[in-house]
């Protein structure tokens, strides 16, 4: 009986000596919201979830953060996507919603996160409105956006002789933003836009749209669609004998598309990406880990790598504050701290929420240049971050006006 107080005293002493982080870790719940079953499932889907989980495994414990990752399938439907986000943030303890491809859904989540003072980080989201008129102090836009893609690709194609443009455009916010930004650049350079057609999300037959494009006699048939829709459009253009006849820039073209279409068909397509799996040793090491965990052993694309990078920086901000509950404060800390991770390197987040990093112009390799299934891009040149993204003063973000 006399030994019991000694045991209690020893236990108390051990607790007193334990690191504070081990006693009271900051808890965060990360919700990855994207298309898990439709046309964007390969571009984001389970891959974005894996990337977030890898970031948590690499950083959370050593930062003193107890992080949980959950996932939701928004099915590319605004009501479903915003409903999941609201339920997560209001009732299920989620602190940050991430990824959110499909710009219409992203804009809805953007508003919900602001209203509930939570955090929204878009990696798969495209619309540049997130750092423009719709910007909020609760949102960060990470990997790419429609201004960057539209202007960069339009300039690269114009410089290679593409002067007369026709657009096949996804019939929702993302596609229309891409078309508008690319059109602005083409016209500013002295080119001409001769027409457009709208393609509903999930279009399986592009034949009538391709016929309309041909009838306009353009130099360029620009494909402002993405994911599985982009793959279908390129395959059908090839069947029509169009891929060698026209320049066919594909704004959101990544290694998933190149592998699905095949290099014989996709060779020569230009793409702008901030990250490529085979660019350096760190990217290759991450990609090997990612592929081992992916159910289909796929390599990551830039948006999935962006999920890793964004999750790392979010965890650092939460650790610095020792709190995840005040979303506005977390985003302010994210903007205050320089970004730095193994995949995207060093960068910054502007007052409008735009993550700034260099982007690279790539060209899809010829079959004779490729050494393997995923060896499909070659770099042509890099654009510095301050030149790649829309100038801060040009976006119309209300946060900028208050500075």
One-character DSSP codes across 134-198: T--TTEEE-S--HHHHHHHHHHHHHHTT--EEEEEEESSHHHHHHHHHHHHHHHHHT-EEEEEEE
Strands 355-356 and 345-349: antiparallel
Cα separation, 4 vs 6, whole angstroms: 5
More confident residue, 6 or 210: 210
Provide the pLDDT for residue 355: 98
Provide the pLDDT for residue 1: 42
More confident residue, 403 or 162: 162
Judge contact between 331 and 350, C-beta under 8 A: no
C-alpha of 13 from chain center: 48
All domains in the chain, ordered by first residue = 24-144+279-358+389-396 (3.40.50.2300), 147-273+359-387 (3.40.50.2300)
Report the alpha-carbon angle 367-163-396, nearest 5.
100
- Mean model confidence pLDDT for the chain: 93
Q: What is the mean pLDDT of residues 375-400?
A: 96
Provide the pLDDT for residue 402: 53
Strands 192-199 and 270-273: unpaired
Is this structure's pTM higher than 0.85?
yes
Torsion of CA 34, 325, 397, 249, to 10 degrees: -20
pLDDT above 90 for 2: no
Cross-sheet strand order for the sheet of 345-349:
339-341, 345-349, 355-356
Provide the pLDDT for residue 25: 83
pLDDT bin (cut points 50, 70, 90) of residue 18 is: very low
DSSP E strand boundaries for 13-156: 26-34, 65-73, 96-99, 119-122, 139-141
Which tens digits make up the pLDDT trace of 232-269? 999 999 999 998 899 999 899 999 999 999 999 999 99
Provide the pLDDT for residue 12: 42
Which tens digits make up the pLDDT trace of 94-132? 999 999 999 999 999 999 999 999 999 999 999 999 999
Bridge-partner residues for 197, per DSSP? 168
**In what helix (H) or strand (E) does residue 74 lie, and over which residues does it extend?**
none
pLDDT bin (cut points 50, 70, 90) of residue 401 is: confident
Which tens digits make up the pLDDT trace of 28-71? 999 999 999 999 999 999 999 999 999 999 999 999 999 999 99
pLDDT above 70 for 6: no
């Amino acid at each position: 009986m006399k030994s019991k107080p000694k045991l209690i005293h020893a236990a108390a002493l051990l607790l007193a000596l334990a690191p504070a982080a081990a006693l009271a870790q900051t808890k965060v719940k990360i919700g990855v919201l994207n298309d898990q079953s439709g046309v964007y499932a390969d571009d984001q889907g389970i891959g974005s979830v894996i990337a977030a989980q890898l970031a948590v495994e690499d950083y959370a414990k050593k930062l003193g953060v107890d992080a949980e990752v959950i996932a939701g399938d928004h099915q590319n439907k605004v009501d479903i996507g915003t409903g999941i986000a609201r339920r997560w943030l209001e009732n299920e303890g989620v602190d940050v919603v991430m990824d959110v491809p499909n710009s219409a859904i992203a804009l809805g989540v953007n508003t919900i996160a602001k209203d509930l003072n939570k955090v929204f980080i878009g990696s798969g989201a495209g619309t540049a409105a997130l750092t423009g008129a719709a910007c909020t102090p609760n949102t960060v836009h990470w990997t790419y956006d429609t201004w960057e893609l539209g202007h960069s690709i339009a300039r690269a194609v114009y410089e290679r002789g593409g002067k007369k443009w026709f657009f096949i455009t996804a019939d929702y916010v993302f596609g229309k933003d891409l078309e508008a930004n690319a059109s602005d650049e083409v016209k500013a350079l002295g080119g001409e836009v001769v027409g457009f057609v709208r393609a509903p999300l999930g279009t399986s037959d592009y034949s009538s749209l391709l016929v309309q494009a041909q009838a306009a006699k353009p130099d360029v048939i620009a494909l402002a669609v993405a994911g599985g829709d982009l793959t279908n459009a390129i395959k059908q253009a090839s069947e029509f004998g169009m891929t060698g006849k026209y320049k066919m820039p594909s704004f959101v073209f990544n290694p998933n598309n190149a592998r699905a279409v095949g290099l014989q068909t996709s060779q020569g397509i230009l793409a702008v990406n901030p990250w490529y799996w085979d660019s350096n040793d760190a990217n290759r090491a991450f990609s090997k880990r990612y592929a081992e965990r992916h159910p289909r052993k796929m390599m990551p694309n830039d948006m999935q790598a962006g999920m890793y990078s964004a999750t790392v920086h979010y965890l650092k901000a939460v650790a610095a504050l020792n709190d995840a509950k005040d979303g506005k404060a977390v985003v302010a800390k994210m903007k205050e701290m320089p970004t730095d991770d193994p995949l995207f390197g060093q960068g910054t987040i502007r007052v409008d929420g735009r993550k700034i990093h260099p982007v690279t112009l790539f060209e899809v390799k010829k079959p004779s240049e490729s050494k393997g299934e995923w060896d499909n891009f070659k770099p042509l040149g890099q654009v510095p971050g301050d030149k790649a993204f829309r100038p801060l003063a040009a976006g119309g973000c209300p946060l900028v006006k208050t500075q």
